Amino acid sequence: MVEEQRNMYEHFSKLAISYGCMRTTDEEPIVFISNRLKHLRKIEAADIGCGQGRYDLLLFKNLSNLHLTCIDINEVMLEETYHNLKSHGITNFKTIKADANELPLDDDSLDCIFTFNTMNQFDIPKFMQQVSKVIKENGLVFIYTRLRSQNGRNIWGKYFPKFFEKENRLPEFHEINAMTNSTLFIESVKDFKFERRDTLQHLINKARNRFYSVFSLYDEEELEECIKVFEKNVISNFKDTEQVEWLDEYSLLILKRLT
């Protein structure tokens, strides 16, 4: 476990500068979130596992009354968040280096919490414990994630060897629901489907550059062998390797604190 955590830290540190360019950032869930919060005059919030702030930029674009605490365990990512937000003229934020299992925030201090594509990095029961303490009564927690079954249906899960088996950190909905506690419950779920299109060569480059953290779980030789099989699979299943098309699925879970 310690070795895996070290590998993940090194993985994200290496990718920090290029992460926003490598990953697709969808605005639809942010628009949905902003509509859900439009009744609030001022929003005190935190983004847990903020990475280099790609979703934070969209949050500020859609929520003019937002005051955001950006939290991540990786200081290189936090530096990128700071520079990204500042370069866009955003000042209503602060960055904190912290573990999601030990949030350095006051109890009952936040209107809402966001986390985007981080469930495979968290100890979910401990995360739930922490957010249920720092969120206000009737406050909301927005968890945007790919569920394990959704991961198995995308191009990587279907055609890249061992990808689905190695990415065993993603939970299913019923598992997240079982990890909530007496003060925090899942109020609703919004599912999203996105049509993706890419070239085979670009997909191979993404795998080789380990643009998903799961690729850091492959050693060099294993990764190269799996890339060869992936290439054959795509050629066999898609007519045009310059226009490889598939669906990506995500779920936005909205949790509410009762008392």
Q: Per-residue pLDDT tens for 208-218?
A: 999 888 999 99
What number is the average pLDDT over the span 80-108? 96
Handedness of CA 44, 47, 52, 57 (dihedral sign): negative
What is the pLDDT at residue 181? Answer: 79
Instruction: Provide the token pair at 72.
Output: 């991540």
Which residue from 221, 253, 210 is spatially nearest to 23, judged by alpha carbons? 210
pTM of the model: 0.90
Band the pLDDT of 15: cuts 50, 70, 90.
Answer: low
Rounded Cα–Cα distance for residues 135 and 140 (Å)? 7
Rounded Cα–Cα distance for residues 161 and 173 (Å)? 24
Is 30's pLDDT higher than 50? yes
For the chain, give every domain's residue range.
Answer: 2-154+168-195+250-257
What is the pLDDT at residue 17? Answer: 52
Residue type, 214: V
pLDDT, tens only, 95-148: 999 999 999 999 999 999 999 999 999 999 999 999 999 999 999 999 999 999
Cβ 147 vs Cβ 170: under 8 Å: yes
Is 9's pLDDT higher than 50? no
CATH number of 2-154+168-195+250-257: 3.40.50.150
Rounded Cα–Cα distance for residues 86 and 208 (Å)? 32
Band the pLDDT of 6: cuts 50, 70, 90.
Answer: low
